[in-house]
Structure 1
Amino acid sequence: MTTFLRLGVTEDDQALADAVATFAQAELAPRAQALDEQELSATCHVPQLAELGVMGLNLPEHLGGPGVTPTAMLLALVEISKACAATSSMVGAHYLGTDAVLIGGNAAQQQAWLPRAASGEWLAGFALTEPRGGSHPADLRTRAVREGGHYRLDGVKHFISNAAEAKFLVVFARTDPDAGARGVSAFVVDTKTPGISFSSHEKLMGIRGAHAFEVSFDGVMVPEDCRLGEEGTGFKTAMKVLDNSRLDVAATSLGIAEAALAAAVQWANDRQIGGEALASKQGIQWMLADMKLRLEAAWGLTLQATALRTAGQVFTRQSAMAKLYASEMVGFVTDAALQIHGGYGFTREMPLERYARDARILRIYEGSSEIQRTIIARAVLG
């Protein structure tokens, strides 16, 4: 639990984070290893998370959310990630879907879908990635063809978190095959609609409790009033959602890194080598210093981007920088923490190897590190 207020964090923000931290350490942390080893779904935690208001942290009060600041939401995700990164990833995927309705939908659509998502009754998902279009979402092959008052959806989505467990997915499909990114539209789709099928959940290296699926759409008829915004605006909605979600990924990175560093510090203080604490060795001290330095730098970038989001300013470049740096930072920190534990860190009796596995995906999803560098470079070049 954080014992001081970081720059830009209010006492109300911290109070929420502390409440989530208490819950996460009491309820999530003890089950994290079982979720990983048995590949149990982190959705088992949704009712308790909903009671805390976590499932609607990204939503305003009139749509069922608690109306907290983006900073409070960030801190809450950090605390969840310290305890169980798979749970944080499941919640983040839920935010992707609900953010898409909040950003791209009209008032009627928001009222229809979001309050019950905020309450935890309904789980959301975000169906953008395809087998041939991961980090290039403008190259979608899923088609949406208007037929009377409906659209017919045909295509396949891949690595869709929450999909088979969700009540609804926001699906991105091409309505104009010749218009590039401007030919992409977004639809909110009930997962019980005929023609939708799901694979078994993917066998993942890490975050095994955050289930991801392949989703097939075969002649799925979606009412016209389930289209979010005008035709051709879906790609713009997706990019705005991803600006937000990259901060969620940064939060997950911060949480895992905080847990790994804390474990390394405790081990270095407790472990005796030649009658002296491991922490007395200069080489270990320098490793810990580098871990802390990179972690604090990631906090700075993430809070800067969050402050811009809170102020209603454009933060695309800053969110890309935060996501890139934080996700690469956590790879360094978890590896160093495992190294400090020596052979013990390589066993499954300790959480170090899980931290390292969970952290690896963060450089890939919500836009790979290479894509983030492209976004940053374009901004630098004007």
Structure 2
Amino acid sequence: MIEMTPTLERATQVAQHMASRAAHADRQGKLPVEDVQALREGGFFALSIPTDQGGLGLSLHECVAAILALAQGSASSALVAVMPLHVFGYAREIRPWPEPMFARMCQAALKDGALFNNVASEPMLGSPSRGGSFETHARPHPSGGWVVNGHKTWTTGGRHITHMLVRLQIEDEPGLMLVRQDTPGVTWEETWVDTLSLRASDSHDVYFTDVAVPAEHLLERGGQSGKTLPNAWFPLLLAAAYLGPAIAARQAVVQYALERVPSALGKPIATLPKIQRQIGEIDVVLQAAQALLFEVAQAWTGEIAACQSLYPRVAAAKHFAIETAQEVTNKALHIAGGLSITSALPLERYFRDVRAGSMQPPSGDTALEIVGRGVLGV
């Protein structure tokens, strides 16, 4: 049982409002401004900011619970909230950037409701987790600072992002620069309107054309970030974002089974042993996936020695959550029958949204290899 904290209660309330807009947002392929504003006013872009910077410093466990609640209302909007939470949560553990700049970033999120996101994927590169060099690049500006040119994909939040952490090349070295959304030369192409999953997440393409970046906005160059800790924030928050729609699908199909009375049966289909068994199968795997997710998130402390050994369980929790979400939403379609593939029920949207979880790291065989190496000790 998860404790009902003020943050979780607020997330549950916001999720209810987001749910009322989710179907329309999905049809329009557009992130609702109201969702972004609700997340901003609720402080969900800053939950993981450390206490020494004036933030709440919520644990990974508490942030996972908040995202799980939000995702039951809208997976697309919950994914937008995932991005700054993992940025600040991981950064507070490893402190990779100059402290003055980190402080400015924290204050922007806390006081102004700034929305941060990592901007890394590219058309030719694919997922940055697979390695390779970025085509987006920075060169020195004649009068100081940098000039950035390039093209990034899958930039969740789109124009609602205020601060982009752009992965790029500086000569023959990788780097990271902070680029504000309102900088001249930043343009967007709306490529995400009719995708299979998360149509309302505004995960569009962004272009940088001779974008001037101040010198102090260079956050990392080469290996100077000093990262020594696996990142559990991103995979576990993603797991929550995709498990949320599966929980919503379970709730929707249960309600449907209680209300659906075929004329040939004369009573709700919930009275049929077959339906009861299928609902039971859904509930068992959901309970298991949530239990593993929360157990691993609670065990994550940010301490190097403990986290190195725990990371295989992080990969396991993320993998199991995604597999469970896909299994549950698939079974929900079968239980509800033909009506489930129409917009009369939200089940087809839940089914589509969770498919994107397989594309985000660590995914598939990679996750299982991490788990296997942990077991084998190699």
Same fold by TM-score, threshold 0.5 exceeded? yes
For 1:333, the aligned partner's letter is V
Q: Percent identity?
A: 25
State the SS of the aligned residue for 2:245. helix
Does the 8 A contact of 1:161 with 1:210 survive in 2? yes
Does the 8 A contact of 1:59 with 1:65 survive in 2? yes
Superposition pairs for residues 307-346 of structure 1, below 5 Å? Answer: 307-310=298-301, 312=303, 313-314=306-307, 315-346=310-341
Partner of 2:137: 143
1:364 is the counterpart of 2:359: yes
In structure 2, distance between residues paired with 1:353 and 1:370: 26
Q: Name the TM-score, length of structure 1 as normaliser.
A: 0.86
Superposition pairs for residues 48-63 of structure 1, below 5 Å? Answer: 48-63=38-53
Q: Give the C-alpha shift of residue 101 in structure 1.
A: 5.6
Q: Give the C-alpha shift of residue 235 in structure 1.
A: 9.4
1:37 is the counterpart of 2:27: yes
Partner of 2:58: 68
Q: Give the C-alpha shift of residue 333 in structure 1.
A: 0.5
| CA spacing shift, 1:82–1:319, aligned 2, 3 Å | same
| CA spacing shift, 1:74–1:331, aligned 2, 3 Å | same
In structure 2, distance between residues paired with 1:286 and 1:376: 31
Q: Give the C-alpha shift of residue 287 in structure 1.
A: 1.4
Partner of 2:370: 375
Partner of 1:180: none
Partner of 1:254: 243
In structure 1, distance between residues paired with 2:127 and 2:373: 16
Does the 8 A contact of 2:43 with 2:113 survive in 1? no
Does the 8 A contact of 1:189 with 1:226 survive in 2? yes
State the SS of the aligned residue for 2:24. helix
Does the 8 A contact of 1:185 with 1:234 survive in 2? no
In structure 2, distance between residues paired with 1:34 and 1:321: 34
Partner of 2:234: 245
For 1:304-333, what per-residue CA distance to the aligned partner results, in whole angstroms no more than 9, with x for missing partners? 221232463414322221111111111111
Partner of 1:82: 72
Superposition pairs for residues 260-339 of structure 1, below 5 Å? Answer: 260-273=249-262, 274-310=265-301, 312=303, 313-314=306-307, 315-339=310-334
Q: Which sections of structure 1, spanning at least 5 residues, go unmatched?
A: 178-182
Which region of structure 1 is more displaced relative to structure 2, 94-103 or 137-146? 94-103
State the SS of the aligned residue for 1:376. helix
In structure 2, distance between residues paired with 1:369 and 1:294: 18
| CA spacing shift, 1:131–1:110, aligned 2, 3 Å | same
Which region of structure 1 is more displaced relative to structure 2, 218-227 or 344-353? 218-227
Q: Give the root-mean-square deviation of aligned CA atoms.
A: 2.6
For 1:184-230, what per-residue CA distance to the aligned partner results, in whole angstroms no more than 9, with x for missing partners? 22221122334333212422223222101222233434333212245
For 1:74-125, what per-residue CA distance to the aligned partner results, in whole angstroms no more than 9, with x for missing partners? 1111111111111101111233444566542222112212222234532222
